[in-house]
Amino acid sequence: MGIIVQNISKSYNKIKAIDAISFEVKEGELFGLIGPDGAGKTTIFRILTTLLLANEGSASVAGFDVVKDYKAIRNSVGYMPGKFSLYQDLSVEENLKFFATIFGTTIEENYDLIKDIYIQIEPFKARRAGALSGGMKQKLALCCALIHKPKVLFLDEPTTGVDPVSRKEFWEMLKRLQEKGLTILVSTPYMDEAELCDRIALIQKGSILKIDKPANIIKDYHRIIYDVKAKNRHQLILDLKNYPSQYSVFAFGEYIHYIDKNENFSATDLDNYLRQNQHSEIEIRVTNPTIEDVFMDL
Amino acid sequence: MNKEKIIQVHNLTKQFGSFTAVNSISFDVYKGEIFGFLGANGAGKTTAMKMLIGISKPTSGEALVAGFDVKSNTEMVKRSIGYMSQKFSMYDDLTIKENITFFGGIYGLSRIQIKEKTAQLVEELGLEDAIGKLVGSLPLGWKQKLSFSVALLHEPKIVFLDEPTGGVDPITRRQFWEMIYAEANKGTTIFVTTHYMDEAEYCDRVSIMVEGVIEALDSPKNLKSKYNVVSMNDVFLKLARNVE
């Protein structure tokens, strides 16, 4: 009774936004759509929330068909679009009241579900939504999406442009909502958030590249990644890219993630090469892959 | 690194009514440095940055940007800097070429200079086949790389980047940073905000703003050792927790 998507395709004019996508989200699951801008994530959300018709394929949400039963779906899902859907000129409290009224309910009736989140923005309840900081706007939008007690929650890039502290708090809220029985489909361009989902679909250019638990996706990755560090980072990137057997070179926080084409790669050889190129304070060591590494190699 | 100070900020303050958005911040940025300007949403980063680029008048305090006073010499400040943000970079319904021509004109470049710059930029970014395309039809990552180049058209001493990589895919994000490195290597100073903490590690120094003040300022390495954590993400969480 979660979400079932079967061979959904959608084109805009001649451009295919999504191409024969299929996946299932189990009831009570926290499922992530992970992919960059333009991957087709928003199109999927709009089809599942009945705001857009697919060209091909079928889908159901909470047991309802997205075409035939669109009215039932609208009553049983909450949707937080990527661009804030709040009324900028209404206050925090007015926005919440407005959404409650539209769904024929009241703030009091479902207060339990939003309480944890709402008390954080309640001190600002008279402030116009347009004057809230990014973190607070996001919390208000989540409250508005929850006020009619939906069974399934759709969150399209809820944390884009949000600072790390607010992002962390937001994911803690999602976990608590999941514990209350909600099925959650969330999209994000932040690869570190992928690891917080039960299962994820890696999506790029309208196709799903992989669906699994984050830990399995990492486990299945077969290449060896080396952390490389030296004093001059920019020159290090350039020199690693010129190393004859390099497979990929990507900056990764404090280190550079280096992958070699050869199975019999020797770290000593690379170390010598870097020394010859006047590098100092060189460190080379094997490291664990992350979802981001896997994603960049798809 | 060259120790010439290119940005000097002293007790810079901005108040909106009774609310102090930026509370007496002081710091210097050196020539050719990649300076990361971090903080939670609402900490005052954007307000501070607006004062530094000459579009918002400080309530009190001083700032010199490329040697010019941000209060009294805003025109010269604007000529010395480049600026790009995620929200506004280029005009979607103009082509790549038209955008370059337009911004080149705004920056006071001659027709010949614009022609040269266009050719150079198109070659560097490999946009030969896309030059006549509308900017609105480009993928976000392309747009951001292009608008970074456009912000550098007039060869500014400092370029301000406001969340340049938000929502951009992981590979393009790294290519973008390679462009930043290359530009900093030429001596251009980079002043950048980001919410990606792995990118904070790529900066020479970072400052972290909390509720209008600069709570910490140092190299990523020193900050991590000072707060006894392994990543900039942890530094950030330690400093900015329990705010708002």
pLDDT in tens, A268-285: 999 999 999 999 999 999
> Contact B169/A234, CB-based, under 8 Å?
no
Contact A266, A226 (CB under 8 A): no
Q: Would the pLDDT of B14 be above 70?
A: yes
Residues of B in contact with A253 (CB under 8 A): 197-198, 201, 231-232
Residues β-bridged to residue A268: none
What average pLDDT does range A122-138 have in this prediction?
88
- Contact with chain B for residue A142, Cβ under 8 A: no
Residues A180 and A265 grouped into a single domain: no
- Contact with chain B for residue A252, Cβ under 8 A: yes
Boundary residue ending a domain (A195, A219, A243): A219
The strand ranges marked E within B98-198 are 158-162, 189-193
Q: Would the pLDDT of A212 be above 90?
A: yes
CB-based contacts of B196, cutoff 8 Å, min separation 6 = A190, B165, B173
Instruction: Please tell me the distance in Å from A164's CA to the nearest CA on chain B.
Output: 6
* Tokens matching residue A69: 């039963």
pLDDT reported for residue A35:
85
Q: Would the pLDDT of B244 be above 50?
A: no
- Contact with chain B for residue A205, Cβ under 8 A: no
Q: Exposed/middle/buried for A243, CB within 10 Å: 0-12, 13-18, 19+?
A: middle
What average pLDDT does range B137-150 have in this prediction?
88
pLDDT reported for residue B22:
97
* Tokens matching residue B144: 């951001």
Contact A198, A30 (CB under 8 A): yes
CA distances A19 to A58, A199, B198, Å, are: 13, 21, 32
User: Where residue A188 sits, what CATH number does that domain have?
Assistant: 3.40.50.300
pLDDT reported for residue B98:
95
Q: What is the distance between the alpha carbons of residues B23 and B183, in angstroms, rounded to a whole number? A: 31
pLDDT reported for residue A25:
98
- Residue A84 pLDDT grade (very low, low, confident, very high; cuts 50, 70, 90): low
What average pLDDT does range B199-213 have in this prediction?
95
Contact A231, A280 (CB under 8 A): yes
> Contact A36/B167, CB-based, under 8 Å?
yes
pLDDT reported for residue B88:
66
Centre a 10 Å sphere on the Cβ of residue B200 and count the other Cβ atoms it contains.
24
Q: What is the distance between the alpha carbons of residues A243 and A226, in angstroms, rounded to a whole number? A: 14
Q: Do the strands A199-204 and A183-188 form a parallel or antiparallel pair, or are they unpaired?
A: unpaired
What average pLDDT does range A39-60 have in this prediction?
95
A vs B: CB pairs below 8 A: 98
The shortest CB-CB distance from A254 to any of B196, B201, B237 is to B201
What is the pLDDT of chain A when averaged over all its residues?
A: 93
Residues A114 and A193 grouped into a single domain: yes
This prediction's pTM: 0.87
Strands of the B158-162 sheet, one edge to the other: B81-85, B158-162, B189-193, B34-39, B205-210, B213-218
Boundary residue ending a domain (A219, A252, A286): A219
- Contact with chain B for residue A256, Cβ under 8 A: no
User: Where residue A292 sits, what CATH number does that domain have?
Assistant: 3.30.70
What average pLDDT does range A92-107 have in this prediction?
94
The shortest CB-CB distance from A37 to any of B39, B168, B201 is to B168
Strands of the A225-229 sheet, one edge to the other: A246-252, A255-260, A225-229, A283-287
Q: What is the distance between the alpha carbons of residues A13 and A20, in angstroms, rounded to a whole number? A: 17
pLDDT reported for residue A91:
96
Domains in chain B, start-ordered, CATH in brackets?
36-42+80-240 (3.40.50.300)
Residues A70 and A99 grouped into a single domain: yes
Domain extent for A55: 3-219
Q: What is the distance between the alpha carbons of residues B175 and B79, in angstroms, rounded to a whole number? A: 27
Residues A261 and A153 grouped into a single domain: no
What average pLDDT does range B42-56 have in this prediction?
93
Q: What is the distance between the alpha carbons of residues A19 and A21, in angstroms, rounded to a whole number? A: 6
Boundary residue ending a domain (A168, A197, A219): A219
Which of B162, B179, B188, B195 is the best mutation test for A, with the most CBs of A within 10 A? B195
In degrees and rounded to multiples of 5, residue A239 shows phi and psi of -70, -40
Residues of B in contact with A135 (CB under 8 A): 40-42, 244
Name the percent of chain A lying above pLDDT 70. 100
Residues A127 and A246 grouped into a single domain: no
pLDDT reported for residue A82:
78
Where is average pLDDT lowest: A101-105, A166-170, B215-219? A166-170
Please, what is the end-to-end C-alpha distance for chain B in angstroms?
37
Reduce the DSSP state of residue B149 to 3 states and report it: helix
Q: What is the distance between the alpha carbons of residues A253 and A231, in angstroms, rounded to a whole number? A: 14
Residues A57 and A122 grouped into a single domain: yes
> Contact A36/B197, CB-based, under 8 Å?
no
- Provide the 8-state DSSP code for B32: T
In this structure, which amino acid lies at residue B193?
Answer: T
Residues A162 and A230 grouped into a single domain: no
CA distances B155 to A11, A50, B2, B114, B152, Å, are: 41, 49, 19, 12, 5
* Tokens matching residue B85: 């943000």
In degrees and rounded to multiples of 5, residue A95 shows phi and psi of -60, -50
The shortest CB-CB distance from B163 to any of A161, A191, A250 is to A161
- Contact with chain B for residue A189, Cβ under 8 A: yes
pLDDT reported for residue B52:
97
Q: Exposed/middle/buried for B211, CB within 10 Å: 0-12, 13-18, 19+?
A: middle
Residues A188 and A274 grouped into a single domain: no
Contact A18, A42 (CB under 8 A): no
Residues A114 and A246 grouped into a single domain: no
ipTM of the prediction greater than 0.90, yes or no = no
Residues A144 and A251 grouped into a single domain: no
What average pLDDT does range A135-147 have in this prediction?
91
Residues A212 and A262 grouped into a single domain: no
Q: Would the pLDDT of B243 be above 50?
A: no
Nearest chain B alpha carbon to A122: B244
Our count of domains for chain A comes to 2
Q: Would the pLDDT of B241 be above 70?
A: no
Q: What digits encode the pLDDT tens for the residues A109-118?
A: 999 899 989 9
With tokens 């300007």, the residue in question is B37
Torsion, CA B86, CA B87, CA B90, CA B95, rounded to 10 = 90
SS3 content of chain B, % helix, strand, coil (to 5): 40, 25, 35
> Contact B42/A136, CB-based, under 8 Å?
yes
Nearest chain B alpha carbon to A192: B196
Distance of CA A73 to the CA centre of its chain: 23
Residue B147 parent element (H or E):
helix B140-151
Residues A197 and A230 grouped into a single domain: no
Q: What is the distance between the alpha carbons of residues B232 and B195, in angstroms, rounded to a whole number? A: 11
